[in-house]
């Protein structure tokens, strides 16, 4: 498909707006009218409302009043704007916690959490589920035909933090019974419970968490995802029943480790996520931009390329980081266009108007405490809105990358929990981002997928630290390579099955034949310790000279593989450090150590050339600048994004592009100011 339908066909344009809390200003309704005026000035068309409003709708159990929401929905509609209407389960009413303590979570020590904060309800509590269904039914019935209703925003940033109440523990045991066919013996085998005398003779004995049983730890995390989804489905049921045509989403949190978003993605109609990079922190800004692009790409891939929603980002600062720097002028626009470049069809903020009190009173907002439009942030937001008005041609388009990086939640859980060979700084996510970064810098679009996705459309599949292999994955990778694909993996791969039981018969387990190597031992180095690997020259993989390596050093034997680099020191000097094995029509690379940036650059520059992987623009990009694209099959929409303070001129060669915002022709040299961004287009 070249173009996906709009998020809601009733409004086929980019959404621009944010979290709006008019109930905080209920005593000053003149502010509501001022908000409507300001929204138009800011070119905003969509507000997320009611996220934390339960008590205002149901001040007493079973007594409902929706007066403020009625007014706001009507005002939005009257002003040609829309609501991303929330269900309020992210924060429970005080009366409810008081009357039904079971709605509050229980800590690992068995004590119940006090009422307060947010995002901390028990996801199994029958009362909480019932109350959510009741309030959501009221909302759905009341607003089902309201012209302002555009999207359902279910709850807010569900997390995977555990609850150890009896309901949750019982639900976990039930989930295990189903998974292990009611056979404790099967569970004991899969969890290897003879270790430290952990054999369970009855389901009731299973109490999470127990760090010594890794199968249990993985299943507990899987259960927390399962139960959160189950809760989401329960609370969404009335929305689906009364408003079957209104899309349902819940806002994810990028690479947040607590929930497996690949499982969750199947249950929502459109993916949405909240992005808060730490710009102007101590590292280069563009490195945060790479991490953000990585998350955007996950969110696009969660539904196979379907455009997603940027549900939240800050128009200026956060308030919850150790140091909250102002976003430098221009960066907000570039960050917004980056998000669109990777597949978002919306730009929404947290928050529209700064709250007067509470812990987020200093969090960035479109409207500051001064209350008017004459601020730098307001102007920048209005500018983004003006740009979005010109991007209808891009709406619903996507990108079809030839390269994919596997970043897998369960794999991350397994790596993080496993004890040894290093217990700190295993850094699975940074390792994936380091490989990804080479493509970002070269202006090559990438899919970020999990190990269950189809590989068949890619030329190059990269799976750093593929520690866990779920059933069938190695066979699928073999088929991908046999059919002509190129596969790259690294140290700490092919170690364990889905329950963290080690593969027997030599690592990298089921990938051994494909990679043509045997990894006999793995050495680890201290953070500041380095070793050296050296390329075998002439080198078919673009490697030359010496590279620094650190942290993980697999000691491998090449069985059928060709050696491309060797270790230079330690007792394994001379042993292979990089290998390639030809398998069917394709090739499989093994990178045995965590190598420096230059290694990754040389290696992937060569792969991009060898495999003829499409770069978005033909020229080399300056450091900190990326080029990304979307296409409808007829036109390419190219985003040039500069995440540095410096001005650059990009050499576009002899191709003729058009600037999508002002329609002017762009030939040859395009100027990108510091933190600047341009969108140009050309026919395919």
| Interaction site with Zn ion (CB under 5 A) | 122, 124, 163, 165, 167-168
Residue nearest to ligand GLA (CB): 274
DSSP E strands: which ranges in 409-456?
446-449
Residue 316 CB, nearest approach to ligand GLA (Å)? 11
Beta-sheet strand order (sheet of 46-49):
248-249, 149-153, 82-86, 46-49, 15-20, 346-349
Q: Residue 285's binding partner, choosing from Zn ion, ligand GLA, none, with beta-carbon cut-off 5 to 8 A by kind?
A: none
Residue 222 Cβ, how far from Zn ion at the closest point, in Å? 17
Among Zn ion, ligand GLA, none, what does residue 163 contact (CB within 5–8 Å per kind)?
Zn ion
Q: Among 102, 156, 243, 310, which residue sits at the site for ligand GLA (rule: CB under 6 A)?
A: 156
| Residue from 159, 350, 140 nearest 245 by CA | 140
Cα–Cα distance measured from residue 659 to residue 302, given in angstroms and rounded to the nearest whole number: 30
Between 193 and 318, whose beta carbon lies closer to ligand GLA?
318
318 binds, among Zn ion, ligand GLA, none (CB under 5 to 8 A by kind): ligand GLA
Number of amino acids touching ligand GLA (CB under 6 A): 9
Nearest distance in Å: CB 276, ligand GLA:
6
> What is d(CA 518, CA 535) in angstroms, rounded to the nearest whole number?
20
What 64-69 contacts at long range (C-beta under 8 Å, 24+ apart), as own/partner pairs, is 64/135, 64/138, 66/138, 66/139, 66/142, 68/22, 68/23, 68/26, 69/143
Residue 168 binding: pick among Zn ion, ligand GLA, none (C-beta 5-8 Å cut-off by kind)? Zn ion
Distance of alpha carbon 399 from alpha carbon 305, whole angstroms:
7
Q: Which is nearer to ligand GLA, 348 or 489 (CB)?
A: 348
**Residue (of 270, 260, 482, 297) closest to 403 by Cα position:** 297
Q: Binding pattern to ligand GLA, positions 331-350, x when CB under 6 A?
A: -------------------x
Minimum distance of Zn ion from residue 162's CB (angstroms): 8
Assess 402 for contact with ligand GLA (CB under 6 A).
no
Work out what residue 365 binds among Zn ion, ligand GLA, none; the CB cut-off runs from 5 to 8 Å by kind.
none
Q: Are 101 and 114 in contact (CB under 8 A)?
A: no
Give the chain's length.
684
Query: What are 42's two structure tokens?
Result: 């800011």
Smallest CA-to-CA distance from 131 within 66, 233, 226, 58 is with 58
- The yes or no reply on residue 276 touching ligand GLA (CB under 6 A) is yes
Partner that binds at residue 650, options ligand GLA, Zn ion, none, CB closer than 5 to 8 Å by kind: none
Q: What does the radius of gyration of the chain's CA atoms come to, in whole angstroms?
A: 26
575-578: which pairs have CB atoms within 8 A and are 24 or more residues apart?
576/517, 577/533, 577/549, 577/553, 578/533, 578/535, 578/541, 578/543, 578/603
CB of 646 to ligand GLA, least distance (A): 29
Q: What is the DSSP code string of 276-331?
A: ---TTSSS-HHHHHHHHHHHHHHHHHTTTT--BEEEE--SS--SSSSS-PPPPTTH
Residue 362 binding: pick among ligand GLA, Zn ion, none (C-beta 5-8 Å cut-off by kind): none
Nearest residue (CB) to ligand GLA, 248 versus 650: 248
Of residues 223 and 262, the one with the C-beta less far from Zn ion: 223
**Judged by CB under 6 A, does residue 312 bind ligand GLA?**
yes
The nearer residue to ligand GLA, 209 or 254, going by C-beta atoms, is 254
Question: Among 35, 58, 274, 500, which residue sits at the site for ligand GLA (rule: CB under 6 A)?
Answer: 274
Q: Which of 318, 398, 486, 677 binds ligand GLA (CB under 6 A)?
A: 318
Alpha helices in 443-543 (DSSP H): 473-482, 512-515
What's the order of all strands across the beta sheet hosting 648-659?
A: 625-631, 635-642, 677-683, 648-659, 665-672
SS3 call for 468: strand
Distance in angstroms between the alpha carbons of the first and the last residue of the chain: 16
Residue nearer to ligand GLA on the CB measure, 274 or 368: 274
Residue 56 and residue 69: Cα distance in Å, rounded? Answer: 9
Q: Which is nearer to Zn ion, 122 or 465 (CB)?
A: 122
Q: Which is nearer to Zn ion, 48 or 125 (CB)?
A: 125
Q: Which of 157, 297, 368, 478 binds ligand GLA (CB under 6 A)?
A: 157
Task: Look at strands 446-449 and 403-406 and give their pairing.
Answer: parallel
Residue 363 makes contact with ligand GLA by CB under 6 A = yes
Q: How far is the CB of 173 from Zn ion (least distance, A)?
A: 13
Q: Which does 276 bind (CB under 5 to 8 A by kind): Zn ion, ligand GLA, none?
A: ligand GLA
- Among all residues, which ones are annotated catalytic? 157, 312
* Chain positions contacting ligand GLA, by CB under 6 A: 156-157, 274, 276, 312, 318, 350, 360, 363
């Amino acid at each position: 498909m070249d173009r996906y339908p709009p998020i809601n066909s009733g409004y086929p344009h980019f959404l621009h707006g944010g979290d709006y809390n008019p109930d905080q200003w209920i005593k000053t309704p003149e502010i509501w009218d001022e908000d409507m005026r300001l929204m138009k000035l800011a070119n905003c068309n969509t507000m997320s409302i009611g996220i934390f409003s339960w008590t205002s709708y149901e001040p007493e159990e079973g007594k409902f009043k929706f007066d403020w929401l009625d007014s706001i929905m009507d005002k939005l509609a009257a002003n040609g704007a829309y609501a991303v209407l929330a269900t309020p389960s992210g924060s429970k009413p005080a009366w409810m916690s008081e009357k039904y303590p079971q709605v509050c979570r229980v800590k690992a020590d068995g004590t119940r959490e006090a009422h307060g904060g947010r995002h901390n309800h028990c996801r199994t509590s029958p009362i909480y589920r019932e109350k959510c269904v009741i309030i959501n039914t009221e909302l759905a019935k009341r607003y089902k035909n309201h012209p302002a209703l555009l999207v359902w925003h279910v709850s807010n940033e569900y997390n995977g933090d555990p609850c150890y109440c009896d309901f949750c523990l019982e639900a976990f045991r039930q989930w295990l019974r189903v998974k292990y066919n009611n056979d404790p013996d099967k569970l004991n085998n899969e969890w290897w419970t003879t270790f430290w005398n952990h054999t369970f003779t009855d389901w009731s004995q299973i109490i999470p968490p127990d760090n010594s049983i890794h199968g249990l730890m993985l299943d507990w995390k899987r259960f927390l995802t399962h139960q959160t989804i189950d809760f989401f489905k329960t609370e969404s049921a009335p929305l689906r029943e009364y408003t079957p045509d209104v899309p349902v989403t819940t806002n994810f949190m990028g690479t947040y480790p607590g929930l497996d978003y690949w499982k969750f993605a199947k249950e929502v109609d459109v993916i949405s996520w909240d992005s808060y990079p730490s710009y102007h922190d101590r590292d280069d800004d563009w490195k945060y931009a790479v991490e953000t692009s990585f998350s955007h790409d996950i969110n696009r891939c969660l539904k196979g390329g379907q455009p997603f929603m940027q549900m939240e980002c800050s128009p200026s600062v956060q308030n919850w980081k150790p140091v909250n720097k102002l976003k430098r002028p221009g960066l907000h626009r570039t960050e917004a266009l980056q998000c669109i470049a990777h597949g978002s069809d919306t730009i929404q903020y947290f928050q529209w108007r700064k709250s007067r009190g509470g812990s987020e009173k200093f969090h960035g907002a479109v409207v500051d405490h001064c209350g008017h439009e004459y601020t730098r942030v307001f102007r920048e937001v209005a500018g983004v809105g003006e740009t979005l008005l010109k991007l209808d041609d891009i709406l619903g388009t996507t990108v079809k990358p030839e390269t994919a990086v596997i970043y897998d939640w369960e794999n991350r859980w397994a790596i993080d929990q496993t004890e040894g060979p290093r217990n700190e700084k295993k850094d699975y996510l940074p390792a994936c981002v380091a490989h990804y970064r080479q493509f970002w810098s070269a202006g090559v679009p990438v899919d970020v997928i999990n190990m269950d996705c189809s590989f068949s459309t890619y030329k190059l599949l990269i799976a750093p630290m593929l520690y866990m292999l779920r059933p069938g994955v190695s066979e699928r990778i073999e088929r991908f390579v046999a059919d002509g694909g190129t596969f790259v993996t690294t140290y700490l791969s092919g170690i364990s099955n889905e329950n963290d039981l080690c593969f027997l018969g030599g690592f990298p387990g089921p990938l051994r034949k494909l990679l043509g190597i045997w990894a006999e031992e793995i050495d680890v180095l201290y953070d500041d310790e380095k070793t050296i690997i050296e390329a075998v020259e002439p080198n078919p993989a673009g490697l030359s000279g010496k590279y620094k390596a650190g942290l993980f050093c697999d000691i491998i034997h090449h069985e059928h593989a060709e050696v491309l680099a060797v270790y230079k020191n330690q007792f394994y000097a001379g042993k292979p450090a990089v290998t390639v094995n030809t398998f069917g029509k394709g090739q499989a690379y093994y990178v045995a150590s965590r190598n420096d940036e230059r290694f990754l650059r040389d290696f992937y520059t060569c792969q991009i050339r060898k495999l003829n992987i499409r770069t978005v623009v033909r020229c080399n990009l300056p450091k900190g600048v990326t080029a990304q694209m979307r296409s409808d099959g007829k036109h390419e929409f190219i985003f040039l994004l500069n995440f540095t303070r410096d001005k650059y001129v990009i050499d576009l060669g002899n191709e003729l592009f058009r600037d999508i915002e002002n329609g002017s022709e762009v030939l040859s040299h395009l100027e990108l100011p510091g933190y600047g961004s341009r969108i140009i287009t050309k026919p395919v």
